[in-house]
Amino acid sequence: MTNGALQAGIITVAELLQDSSLSLPIYQRPYKWQPHHIEQLFDDMARHRGKPAYRLGTLVLHQHGSPDREKHDIVDGQQRTLTLLLIVHALMDVIDRSEKNFSSKMLAKLLLIKQMMIKPRFSNAISQHNLRQNYQIVHRRVARPDFDEAAVDFLLHRCELVRVTLHDIAEAFQFFDAQNARGRDLAPHDLLKAYHLREFDGDEAVKQDTVRAWENSDSYELEILFGQYLFRIRRWVKGDSARFFSKSDVALFKGVNLAGGVLYPGLRIMQLAHEAVDSGGLLAFPFQLDQPILNGRRFFEMIHHYQKSGLARRSRTWAEGWLPLDRLDGFAPRILQTLSLYEGRKRTGDVYVRVMFDCLLLYYLDRFGSMGISRAIEKIFIWAYSLRLNMQVVQLAGMDNHVLSNNLFRVLREATHPQEFLQHPLPMVEQENSTQTTELTQLFREMRYIVPEKGVTG
């Protein structure tokens, strides 16, 4: 396909690697792929081997130079191209060590590719480190028995890229920007949308309805739902830090496709639920915040399920059905009212603390519903807002460390009854160091979670 100075077409990995006119321009960023990117590439190729072709992505090139010394600078696709070069280098090393027995035809093909593919050099220390590290991982993967001749043939001849060539460097960069979400950087949830649409099995009309519902969602609210709540809950439940949700974290929301592939025994109960819901039953799928992600349609249904909590709405209200406000007693109603009204609630640090509170409350509701909810609100309030009273300034790292040092998410994960969580002891606040929190302090005093001053009893 040609459009003015733009040329586009589909090429195989073999065709890409045999293009000796490729070059890495000096303006390219360092090679930054990490081990999990390598593992993901191999896993994706293994999973799609039964397909006629598997698309690896887009390669944007800037063509320049004289006809007899033409060059194609890689504007976009450097990380993937370098990784493919590593794979061939490692594979040839394995063959040279007589660890693989391939046909003479395949050996000749690999030798030709090795002779023709580019041999870039790197002065950047980051690139050098990542290339050495990833070569070892690639070497282990290609040395495995399951990376046989059929797997190599699939990689070379059925794994494809969309090659876009432009003759003007400004146009090349403009096209690169357009590829990345119409001039803006793709958000992590945008990447997840693309991934799960590829994994979507079933009726095309259902798929179109799902896409329409996602597109009609507020992008800001999706960003908040993932970044502030779903990401942090899934990380904190595992005992891992959860400060910023970035593209490197999207694997946290990728899982298994129940419609095909190997069904492991540990997933059988999810398969039963999946089949029961689809058989025409009245029950909705029983989503859980810490469950393995089900790819495709169930992923979109899960996100819609948690959107209904109302946590990510710009108005920051909980939707009815998640928090039974009419059934709260004890300190719980007053706690919720105070959190919405106290003087310092809009400060950055106070917003961090509120996120902690909301995340753990959502996780409790996910586990036990409204059973013991009033006492749960009291427990979660003390646990979260003790950080606010103890600290003059609450920063993101402070929030994260507070969760991990007294991780009630893990306590809740292990609980089989609400009482196991509700009876978990919490420390008292020794000394109040915050300002603009008078109403919070009063609640702590009445709930007996501030150490009384000397000579004061209550």
Highest average pLDDT, of 2-11, 39-48, 271-280, 399-408, comes from 399-408
Tokens of 455: 């000579």
> Which pLDDT score is estimated for 216?
79
Summarize pLDDT for 230-278 with one digit per residue, the tens.
999 999 999 999 999 988 899 999 998 887 666 788 888 888 888 888 8
> Which pLDDT score is estimated for 276?
87
Residue from 408, 35, 413, 395 nearest 243 by CA: 395
Query: What is the reported pTM?
Result: 0.67
Residue 295, CB-side half-sphere exposure with 13 Å CA sphere: 18
Q: Which residue has the higher pLDDT, 375 or 171?
A: 375
Q: Which residue has the higher pLDDT, 183 or 307?
A: 307
> Which pLDDT score is estimated for 191?
82
- b/e code 377-414 from CB counts within 10 Å (16+ = b): bbbbbbbbbbbbbbbeebeeebbbebbbebbbbeebbe
Residue from 46, 147, 31, 28 nearest 80 by CA: 31
> For the chain, what is the largest distance between any 2 Cα atoms, rounded to a whole number of angstroms?
93
Residue 440 has pLDDT above 80, yes or no: yes
pLDDT band at 395 (very low <50, low <70, confident <90, very high): very high
Query: Which of 11-15, 208-212, 266-270 comes out lowest in average pLDDT?
Result: 208-212
> Which pLDDT score is estimated for 275?
86
> Which pLDDT score is estimated for 171?
57
Domain ranges of the chain: 2-183, 189-307, 325-446
> Which pLDDT score is estimated for 172?
57
pLDDT band at 198 (very low <50, low <70, confident <90, very high): confident
> Which pLDDT score is estimated for 314?
72
Mean pLDDT on 296-305: 92
Tokens of 388: 């606010």
Residue 50 has pLDDT above 90, yes or no: no
CB atoms < 10 A from the CB of 97, how many? 9
Summarize pLDDT for 319-349 with one digit per residue, the tens.
656 888 888 999 999 999 999 999 999 999 9
Q: Which residue has the higher pLDDT, 306 or 50?
A: 306
> Which pLDDT score is estimated for 422?
97
Q: DSSP state, 229? A: I
Distance CA 339, CA 312 (A): 16
Mean pLDDT on 46-74: 85
CB atoms < 10 A from the CB of 367, how many? 18
pLDDT band at 181 (very low <50, low <70, confident <90, very high): very low
Distance CA 114, CA 6 (A): 29
> Which pLDDT score is estimated for 280?
74
Highest average pLDDT, of 49-63, 244-258, 260-274, 355-369, comes from 355-369
Mean pLDDT on 185-199: 80
Mean pLDDT on 13-39: 87
> Which pLDDT score is estimated for 142?
94
Q: Mean pLDDT, the chain, as a whole number?
A: 87
Residue 2 has pLDDT above 70, yes or no: no
Q: Which residue has the higher pLDDT, 69 or 360?
A: 360
Mean pLDDT on 107-131: 90
Mean pLDDT on 188-197: 84
Residue 315 has pLDDT above 80, yes or no: no
Q: DSSP state, 147? A: S
With beta carbons less than 8 A apart as the criterion, state whether 73 and 89 touch: no
Q: Which residue has the higher pLDDT, 275 or 132?
A: 132
